Every structure is written in C-alpha cells, then in structure tokens.
Amino acid sequence: MTRRWVTTLLVAGVVGVIPATWAGLSDTKHNLTATGPGPIKEPGVTGELCIFCHAPHNVNPKRGRWNRELPGSVYTLYQSSTLEAILAQPTGASRLCLSCHDGTLALGNLRSPARTGPTTVGRLTGRGVLGTDLSDDHPVSFIYDSTLALTRGELADPSALPPAIRLDGSGQLQCTACHDPHDNPFRKFLRVDDRAAGLCVTCHQNRDWTLTSHANSPATWNGSGINPWPDSPYTTVADNGCQNCHRPHAAPQPPRLLRNAQERGVCLDCHSGSVARHNLEREFSKSSAHPIIASEWTHERREDSATMLRHVACVDCHNPHKVTSAPANAPAVTGRLRGVPGVNSSGGTVSEASFEYEVCFKCHGIRDQTTPLAIVRQDNTRNVRSEIDQGNPSHHPVTALGNNPTMGGFEPGYSTASIIYCTDCHNADGWTLGGTIARGPHGSIYAPILEREYQMDDPTLESFQSYELCYKCHNRSFLINDQARTFLHNKHVVEQQSSCAVCHDAHGSRDNVHLINFMLVDRTGRPAVAPASSGRLEYNALGAGRGECFLMCHGKDHNPEQYP
C-alpha cells in the first residue's frame, strides 16, 4: 500500500481506505452526514461519509461507483460568438455533479441506502444550484486538445496544464478540471487558488495580462455605491483578477460570462468612483457624450469596422485584458488604449492600434457619419480620416506634421513641429493633468465632446472663453491683433463677430490651405456663408500671408476680397 492511501472510512458497511488528499472531505459541505459542517445534513446518517455519492454495489455508472440516480434533464448549453469548442450534453463527471447541482433530484435519492439511517434530505437549494440552464456557466464536456487551443488562441496547450488541472480520460474538460469534490483547501472545492486569477490563467493565457492594471492594481472598494465583488472574499482589483468582470457560474450576461447584465455596468461597477480613481459614470451623463447606453451588447470581439452596426462600447476603445496606465507621446497609443483593433490612415484594419487616431478611425474614419447634421460646410464630408489626411492642402497635425512650416503665434509648448492627439481637443471638460477628471472623450458639456468651449454659431461675440479650445494652442493676442502679413482676424472675428468655424474646419480641408472650408449653415440652422454675386464660392491662396475670397457673408459681397 502506498503512503497516500491512509484514511479508513465506513462506506455502506464496507471498510476501505481513501486517499489522504481526501481526508479533508469530512470538514467540507460535501459531508452530508449528521456531523457535517454545512447547512445541509442527514441527521440519521452517521459515519457513512461517502454514501451520498459512492457505494460498493448497485451503482450506475460503474466508474466512480456512483450511488445516485442521474437526472434525465436536457440542459441549455453555453453559447458565444467566440466559442470554438464543440459542446454536447454534459457527460462523465459533469453529469455526476449535476445529479445534485442541477437541483432537480433530492440529495437523499440514493441507489444503495445508507446502513445507519434513512436519507430524506431534499433537493439542493441556494447558490450551489446551477439549474438546467447552463448557458450562464463555464462550458463543460468538450474536447480540450491542441487543435482547440490553437484555433481559439490564448489557451494553454493541454499538455502544458499543471497537474492540479485534470481533463478526463477522453480529453474532455469537466467540472472536475476546476473543482475537486473531495478536498477544499481554498474555497468552492477549487483545485487551484483563484486569488489573482490563479485558476483562470492555468488555461486562459491572455498575452500581456500580467502587465495590466487589472492584474496589478491594489485599488479597493471605498464603500460608496454597490459592492463590485459581493461574492468574493478578495478586496483588491489585483486579487479579484478575472472576477472583476467575469463570473464562472450564474453570470448575469451569459455570453463571455460577464458579471453585469448591463454592458456599461461591467466597467462602471468599478469605474464610477467606487474603486477606480475617476468617476466615468458622471462623464457619460453629460450633454455631449459617447452614447454607450444606446446600443447595449452590439459590440463583437471579431467585428469588422467596415461593416459593423454603428455603436460604441467601452471595449471599442479599451481592452481590459491589455490595458495599462503607461503614458505615451502623440500620436502613439497610451496604455489605456493598448491592444485595441483600429483603422489606419489608409483605411485598412489593424489588429492592434499603434496610434490613438487608429482607434478613433474605427468609427470616425470609415464613412461619413449618419448622425443628424449640425454644421453644413462647402465640402461636407463627415469622414474625419479624410479630413485630416496628410495629403490634404491643410490638416491639424494628428496623423502627421502640418503642411504650413511658416505658421506662427503658438502658445508655449506648441509649434509647427507638434503632433497632437484627437483627445487634445475631444476630451472631458475640466480635465487637468493629475486632476480628478479622467482624460478621454467620455463626455463633456461642450459638444462634440470638447475639452473647452468652442463657439461655432454665427455670429459669436469674441472672448477668450468663447474660443478657449482654439486659444489652448493658438495665442489669442497674436490672432486678434492682426500681426503683419496675417489674415485680418480682428476685423472678422472681433468686429464682425464671425466664428472661427465660419472659415475654418478644425479637422482639415481637402481643398484649401489654412483649414479653409466655408460653413454654409451653423448649428442653429442659420445661414453663414453663401456664393458671391458672381456665383463663385472659393478661397484662393496668393502667396505667404495673402489670399482672396469669393463669397457673401454678413450681407457683404466678397467678389473677391483680398487679404491682408
């Protein structure tokens, strides 16, 4: 006899030995005898610890010496658009587990009765009941082989699984891959400690997971709002690991086993100021915000930006399995956008964006937007990628340096050698470096999700506040005091109260230098610029600092007017 077979127990009147690793069974909820520590026990049964699952005679199936009737249930199986495994009705050990845990048969329904007393205990109740709908539970009874690992991606090859994680004899993953019904050294009969995703990562080996904020953050729940981890003994983001977002059983959102029935809730359980530093829920409630509520569960992991239904979800911009807090310089992605698919400046898809604008282009760079029009321009494209294309006569320097190396009048820190992010303009209002408001285009009181005020209605009274967004980079004094050989901004913007937006398209111009793309109608529906009396509507550059316009504006016919 080997040393591991040391414990002697009475099973249905037969003396036998069980592995020493099972010796702790008597101290678990699976001990249903009168002396069991759990809430469910059979008062009339003593000593026969194993009888509730095993017996020496009248068993079915013979493997495992199973002493319970098996339910005839037909189970609803897990489904997901990313599922690669082939599922069938539960088999093997999983079927045995379900004879108690689907809640359809009494726990005392034994094939061979206990010798020491009757077994009358009823069906399992409470959180341990999975029911017959297994769509909200981790899938079981499927072949886990090297082919599946390669097809699915980011799965460990079964040959590399640690000894504690066991597939059955046919290579299927069963309940017993994660749970050892005879021993409970951790909790919930887990074979591996699940602190810091220790159990999940034995199979799910997401690339770069160990570097992420979700794997390393020491943040805890501050007690406000709803506890994000009501079913967990762990108190930090790092210790909860995968359980920050997922539940292996009874998941409120079954596909991908997400722990909140609302898509935004999966993230906002923590990112509402209760765990994470910033309150993003507040940002999304502002008057101009990305509409994450409008299209719940539309996002698909493998969606094609060119054909997908219009939507925006947190995971369109953030990959929770790869996100970090690492900074970057424009135009490179920061850690917050790490591992997110995108569309490059040529319109091609990329599996992981290298530049911030590639993330934005997934929605704002494929086609003209179909949302209701606000400003109407002479060239009325609403494809931002085409507006800031570096091949245009002019563009804000997002994908590349600007095309006007002689331009001046910048605020300190900016020059013609500057590259900027989309989020330098499209950002939360009130954001400051190191402040309490999260950076990013979640929401703002200034449309369209602008960091600072930018009045685009015509006319607009000029002030620092009215054009604070423009004056973030462009020196106000330089512009409105009409420096030599520059456009007469004072005459137009101050005296005539023409908005900057009347002449300039902030993203860029496909036709003119200096971002010239005339606004025909402002956001209120008021006409702004119309063709001159000659019928022409155009701007012509006449050399450095000089140009001419053909247009009708504020009742004045420019046919043409030359500047300066």
Q: Which domain holds residue 227?
A: 209-277
Q: pLDDT category, 280, cuts 50, 70, 90? A: very high
pLDDT at 487: 85
Percent of the chain with pLDDT over 70: 95
Q: Is the pLDDT of residue 20 over 80?
A: no
In angstroms, the CA 472 to CA 155 distance is: 47
Which residue is it, tokens 């490179």?
A: 332
Q: pLDDT category, 543, cuts 50, 70, 90? A: confident
Q: pLDDT category, 23, cuts 50, 70, 90? A: low
Q: Is residue 24 part of a domain?
A: no
Q: Is the pLDDT of residue 251 over 60?
A: yes
Neighbouring C-beta atoms of residue 159, cutoff 10 Å: 8
Q: Is residue 104 part of a domain?
A: no
The model carries a pTM of 0.90
| Residue 481 near residue 372, CB atoms below 8 Å | no
Total domains in the fold of the chain: 1
pLDDT at 216: 97
| Residue 285 near residue 176, CB atoms below 8 Å | no
Q: Is the pLDDT of residue 51 over 60?
A: yes
pLDDT at 367: 83
From 203, 246, 197, select the one nearest 217 (Cα to Cα).
197
Q: Any idea what DSSP says for residue 94?
A: H
In angstroms, the CA 230 to CA 177 distance is: 25
pLDDT at 373: 62
Q: Is the pLDDT of residue 2 over 50?
A: no
From 163, 158, 134, select the one nearest 148 (Cα to Cα).
158
Q: Is residue 307 part of a domain?
A: no
pLDDT per position as a tens digit, 104-147: 999 999 999 999 888 899 999 999 999 999 999 999 999 999 99
In angstroms, the CA 160 to CA 169 distance is: 16
pLDDT per position as a tens digit, 484-528: 778 889 999 999 999 999 999 999 999 999 999 999 999 999 999
Q: What is the dihedral of CA 376, 379, 385, 388, to 10 degrees?
A: -100
Mean pLDDT of 252-262: 97
pLDDT per position as a tens digit, 155-170: 999 999 999 999 999 9
Q: Is residue 268 part of a domain?
A: yes
Which residue is it, tokens 């020059």?
A: 415
pLDDT at 306: 87
Element holding 552 (H helix, E strand): strand 546-553
**Mean pLDDT score of the chain, rounded to an integer?**
92
Bond prior to 564 in cis (omega within 30° of 0) = yes
Mean pLDDT of 259-280: 96
pLDDT per position as a tens digit, 348-380: 999 999 999 999 999 999 988 766 668 999 999
**Contact residues for 253 (Cβ-Cβ < 8 A; gap 6+):** 259, 260, 261, 263, 266, 297
pLDDT at 63: 81
pLDDT at 314: 97
Mean pLDDT of 169-180: 97
Q: Is residue 49 part of a domain?
A: no
pLDDT at 15: 38
| Residue 472 near residue 411, CB atoms below 8 Å | yes
pLDDT per position as a tens digit, 191-222: 999 999 999 999 999 999 999 999 999 999 99
Q: Is residue 270 part of a domain?
A: yes
pLDDT at 19: 52
AA letter at 156: A
Q: Is the pLDDT of residue 10 over 60?
A: no
pLDDT at 281: 95
| Residue 90 near residue 140, CB atoms below 8 Å | yes
pLDDT at 370: 60
Q: Is residue 289 part of a domain?
A: no
Q: Is residue 242 part of a domain?
A: yes
In angstroms, the CA 395 to CA 512 distance is: 10
pLDDT at 415: 96
